[in-house]
Chains A and B, each alone.
Chain A
């Protein structure tokens, strides 16, 4: 496919030369199975002081394109065609010496994951200093402190003497931004700079990055999977799909009037732009639709789970034998109605996952009660607990970590049946086939292993495994957070369908308010172990009462973008 219309702002419109221009770029990876073209015919240009976002899902080639611009392709990758023009100089095949000159000074980078991008064995100050020194800039303690405080790190002088593990994720990302901008580069490559952070922190960091790059006149190449974020932060958006640039243009225009089918799907399923709960499943069956209407309309509330004044206190060691109490969950009460979805939202450290663990009986509450069908779960004996586990099943966040790589898919899904001694070999196999049908996986997947499946397929396997025992309640702990937008939308639809067909109850733990909007009937907002707001999803989203909830809602990227209703 050719993409004649994707060139944006060819030099000449204003007589200014683009700072970075990528022409016909092709990147090839050498793999065990031969050469793979990861990027082909990519075009983009960034004017001085402009912010351009590349949007795409994992594997679309967006990061690869950006890494090529700073000469950091992995060892098995190379530029196999086209040009990367930095201020007119083709750096696609520049010498390593030339690239070392450019890096830091002319092209800076803010990487994706703040947890793994700082070397754990060196102090923060050292990691800033070596950057300044390598680029021939003054690198005294004052300079280091200045660079760090400009990136919004409070108490920078003292902080410079700390190690990365003593920093929170947000602080680490500030340190990485400080490093990326310390030598005032003309181009900053920001590769998903905030995707590992909470929404409110994400917002602060992006705001700060905006201010800094505007003040310095830095051009920014922003890589993101989040269309809402791209539209909010960038002047222009470039959409990549399977190694190609499929569409490019000014952000709002592209969002309002997407041309390419892929962009259209992306806009439709962007959770940050969605505004309604997934209704498709409920509208399918005319009869069942009434039964499954939000439980608020049913006369008697049928609470399958009742959480009463739940507390979990951990002892934090302080050295010298002292310990202080830390309440991870502090007096949380809420009910979950049968056949509905209740979401617990909060940032990292809010205690939402601890609640999930206690409901699953993986952690013992310090105080308070969890009633399941009216029975206090803390009083269950081991036999009853075993039966309880049949009725309450989890789906975890990371489909890469939660499936045993040595088990094939059949064994993975069959295992709970075998553990609970349900049926014989033949009936179990039949059940596994049914489950695969339910989650829309081909039956041929049975003999495959997790590493042969994509992230979305793995999460389907995890769902099938959770469904194997015909549970009543499913606890989804960040079950879609690790998935690409389109896959996320598919999985959420699947969960909604299953709820409609099987009458399942979901307790949905997530940090992502956009997902809550799509799937939940009720929301509980948690902050620092406490429940700050509860209510129906519509109420909470339309008229949040607490400041914290408002802050969370405002921090959703793209929340304030105005889109025509047929798109949103």
Chain B
């Protein structure tokens, strides 16, 4: 078990170097001059350009720039972005916001997706099942930005149940509406996965045996159907957590959430190599940890899974 976790954490090293190298190279290869972009239509004096270039090491070759980035990383100094702010400070601002948003969205899709999925799966073909299936299809089919604007308009502006935009001071309450929008699409998938898994396990021999033992229906469902049905759902949720932490550019944009997605989008527009790569580095770590958690959760759900092999 400990060996397994250690091995998984060691895998971070090649994954980390590979992804950062790739992203760094792609930013480096982007057409356009980031310094020129900073000044928009105005033409800055050549001396200013040269100073900025050497300050951000843009005049150095690719390997030197990448090496400097790694060096900075290990001295926990990520450098400054093009507006002069320390990158570490802006990361510390955006990641908690996105983490809150992701956790809320994940909780919504997990709790409601599993609960609805179980009810639909147990009564397959019933009215609840049919309604929920059609509704989930609608949610999957409608693009997020449409869903986002509609929710913003209806719940935020017309009904006034929630703040239509989040703004600088994001908290759990103000993030609820974007979290619902963000969670809805995955909610539909979780629901369908759970439903399929439940209706398959319902006919398993051990479920019949459990009933034959004289257990009540709720006990059979909770102890013998639900737990066995959660394995594929957990896989999906784990992969999804990584995606959510990467920031939802569209949703964060609509609700003006100061999160990772927004930051990343701006950095890409400005070709800010160090910022982009810093964000990606953190995301790599998040992905690895999320997948590790999923694997550990597997073992808890299904004791047949062993790690030492």
Residues of A within 8 A of B (CB): 70, 72, 74, 96, 100-105, 108-109, 111-113, 116-122, 130-131, 134-135, 163, 165, 176, 179-180, 183, 317, 319-320
B14 within 8 A of A: no
Residues of B within 8 A of A319 (CB): 308-309
A317 CA / B223 CA spacing, docked (Å) = 32
Please state if A101 and B214 are interface contacts (CB–CB under 8 Å). Answer: yes
Residues on B with beta carbons closer than 8 Å to the beta carbon of A104: 212-215
**A179 B206 Cβ-Cβ under 8 A:** no
Output the least CB separation between B101 and chain A (Å).
33
Is B228 a contact partner of A103 (Cβ separation < 8 A)?
no
Shortest Cβ distance from A293 into chain B, in angstroms? 48
Query: Distance (Å) between the CB of B73 and the closest chain A CB?
Result: 34
User: Which of B214, B303, B309 is the one whose CB lies under 8 Å from A100?
Assistant: B214
Residues of A within 8 A of B207 (CB): 119
Is B211 on the interface with A (CB-CB < 8 A)?
yes
The 18 listed contacts between A and B (C-beta, < 8 Å) are: A70-B212, A103-B211, A103-B212, A109-B209, A111-B209, A116-B204, A116-B205, A117-B206, A119-B207, A120-B206, A120-B302, A121-B227, A131-B215, A134-B214, A179-B209, A319-B309, A320-B3, A320-B308
Measured between C-beta atoms, what is the minimum distance from A29 to chain B in Å? 14
Task: List residues of chain A with CB within 8 A of the CB of B303.
Answer: 120-121, 163, 165
> How far is it, in angstroms, between the C-alpha of A104 and the C-alpha of B309 when the chains are bound?
39
B206 in complex: contacting residue of A119, A135, A163, CB < 8 Å = A119
> Closest B-chain residue to A320, C-beta based?
B308
Could you tell me which residues of chain B, from 202 to 227, have a CB within 8 Å of some CB in chain A?
203-217, 219, 223-224, 227
Residue pair B217, A111 in contact (C-beta under 8 Å): no
In the complex, the chain B residue whose C-beta lies closest to that of A112 is B205
Chain B residues positioned under 8 Å from A135 (CB to CB):
213-214
Do A317 and B309 touch across chains, with their CB atoms under 8 A apart?
yes
For residue B209, which residues in chain A have a CB less than 8 angstroms away from its CB? 109, 111, 117-118, 176, 179
Residue of A nearest to B230 (CB): A121
Chain B residues within 8 Å of A116, by CB: 204-206
Q: How far is the CA of A277 from the CA of B301 in the complex (A)?
A: 52
In addition to A70-B212, A104-B214, 11 A-B residue pairs with Cβ atoms within 8 Å of each other are A102-B214, A104-B212, A111-B209, A119-B223, A119-B224, A120-B304, A130-B223, A134-B215, A163-B304, A179-B213, A319-B309
Task: Please measure, in the bound complex, the distance between the C-alpha atom of A119 and the C-alpha atom of B223, giving whole angstroms.
Answer: 9
Residues of B within 8 A of A320 (CB): 3, 308
Q: In the complex, what residues of A have CB within 8 A of residue B308's CB? A: 317, 319-320
A110 to B219, CA, bound (A): 20
Interface centre among B206, B214, B217, B219 (most CB of A within 10 A): B214
Q: Is the CB of A183 within 8 A of B214?
A: yes
- Encoded as 1 (CB less than 8 Å from any A CB) or 0, chain B from 4 to 46 comes to 0000000000000000000000000000000000000000000
Work out how many contacts link A and B, with CB atoms closer than 8 A.
87
Residue on A nearest B209 in the bound complex, by CB: A117
CA distance A319 to B209 in the complex (A): 34
**Residues of chain A within 8 A of B214, CB atoms compared:** 100-105, 131, 134-135, 183
**Using a CB–CB distance below 8 Å, which chain B residues touch chain A?**
3, 203-217, 219, 223-224, 227-228, 301-304, 308-309
Find out whether the CB atom of A109 lies under 8 angstroms from the CB atom of B223: no
User: Which residue on A lies nearest to B204, using beta carbons?
Assistant: A116
Contacting pair A111 B227 (CB below 8 A): no
Question: B217 → chain A, closest Cβ, in Å?
Answer: 7
Q: Is the interface of A mostly helix, strand, loop or mixed?
A: loop
CB of B302 within 8 A of CB of A130, answer: no
Cα separation A176 to B209 with both chains bound (whole Å): 9
Query: What's the dominant secondary structure at chain B's contact region?
Result: helix
| Alpha-carbon distance A514/B76, docked complex (angstroms) | 76
**What chain A residues lie within 8 Å of B216 (beta carbons)?**
100, 134
Measured between beta carbons, the chain A residues less than 8 angstroms from B205 are: 111-113, 116-117
Least Cβ–Cβ distance between A111 and chain B, in angstroms: 5
Shortest A319–chain B CB gap in Å is: 4
CA distance A211 to B302 in the complex (A): 36
How many whole Å from A144's CB to the nearest CB in chain B? Answer: 14
In the assembled complex, the Cα of A70 lies from the Cα of B211 at a distance in Å of 10
List of B residues within 8 angstroms of A108 by Cβ: 212
Q: Give the residue among B207, B209, B216, B308 with the most A Cβ atoms within 10 A.
A: B209
Whether the pair B304, A165 counts as a contact (CB closer than 8 A) is: yes
Contacts of B208 in A (CB 8 A): 72, 111, 117
Shortest Cβ distance from residue A400 to the other chain B in the assembled complex, whole angstroms: 17
8 tightest Cβ-Cβ pairs between the two chains A and B: A104-B214, A103-B214, A109-B212, A116-B205, A119-B206, A131-B213, A319-B308, A117-B209
Contact A121-B302, Cβ < 8 Å, known A116-B204, A116-B206, A130-B223:
yes
Nearest CB of B to A196, in Å: 11
- Chain B contacts of A96 at CB under 8 A? 217
- Bound together, the chains give a CA A131 to CA B211 distance in angstroms of 10
Shortest distance in angstroms between A181's beta carbon and chain B's nearest beta carbon?
A: 11
Closest B residue to A123 by beta carbon equals B303
B123 to chain A, nearest CB (A): 10
Give Cα distance in the complex from A112 to B209, angstroms: 10
CA distance A183 to B213 in the complex (A): 9
Task: Tell me which residues across on chain B come within 8 A of A72, comparing CB atoms.
Answer: 208, 211-212
Docked CA distance A113–B204 (Å):
11
A179: B residues at CB distance < 8 A = 209, 213
Q: Is the CB of A130 within 8 A of B211?
A: no
A130 touches B309 (CB 8 A): no
CA distance A14 to B230 in the complex (A): 55
Q: Return A30 CB to nearest CB of chain B, in Å.
A: 12
Contact indicator A122/B304 (Cβ below 8 Å): no
- Rounded to whole angstroms, the CA-CA distance of A510 and B197 in the bound complex is 36
Q: Once the chains bind, are A111 and B212 in contact (CB under 8 Å)? A: yes
Q: How far is the CB of B298 from chain A (nearest CB, A)?
A: 11
CB-CB < 8 A to B309: which residues of A? 317, 319
Chain B residues with CB below 8 A from A100, complex form: 214-217
Query: Taking CB as reference atom, which chain A residue is nearest B309?
Result: A317
User: In the complex, A270 Cα to B204 Cα: how many Å?
Assistant: 31
Per the bound structure, the CA–CA distance linking A179 and B208 in Å amounts to 13
**Considering only CB atoms, which chain B residue lies closest to A317 in the complex?**
B309
Please give, as numbers and ranges, the residues of chain A lying within 8 Å of B219 by CB-CB distance.
Answer: 130, 134
Residues of A within 8 A of B211 (CB): 72, 103
- In the complex, A369 Cα to B71 Cα: how many Å? 62
Kindly state the separation between the CA atoms of A104 and B210 in the bound complex, as whole angstroms. 10
Query: Which chain A positions have C-beta within 8 A of B223?
Result: 119, 122, 130
* A180 CA / B209 CA spacing, docked (Å): 9
CA distance A194 to B227 in the complex (A): 28
Query: In the complex the two chains form, what is the Cα distance from A121 to B234 in whole Å?
Result: 15
Q: What's the least CB distance linking B220 to chain A, in Å?
A: 10
* Contact present for A121 and B228 (CB under 8 Å): yes
